[in-house]
Structure 1
Amino acid sequence: MRLTTKGRYAVTAMLDLALHANQGPVSLADISKRQHISLSYLEQLFAKLRQNALVKSVRGPGGGYRLEGAAESIFVAQIIDAVNESVDATNCNGGGDCQGGEVCLTHYLWSDLSAQIHAFLSGISLASLVARQEVREVADRQNRNEGLNVPELETISLTNLVQN
Structure 2
Amino acid sequence: MRIGLYPGTFDPVTLGHLDIIARASALVDRLVIGVAINRDKGPLFSLEERVEMLEAECAALQEKHGCEIVVHPFENLLIHCARDVGANVIIRGLRAVADFEYEFQMVGMNRALDASVETVFLMADARRQAIASKLVKEIARLDGDVSRFVTPAVKDRLLAKLGRG
- The TM-score with structure 2 as length reference comes to 0.30
Q: TM-score by structure 1 length?
A: 0.30
Report the structure number with the largest CA radius of gyration.
1
The structure carrying a bigger helix percent of its residues is: 1
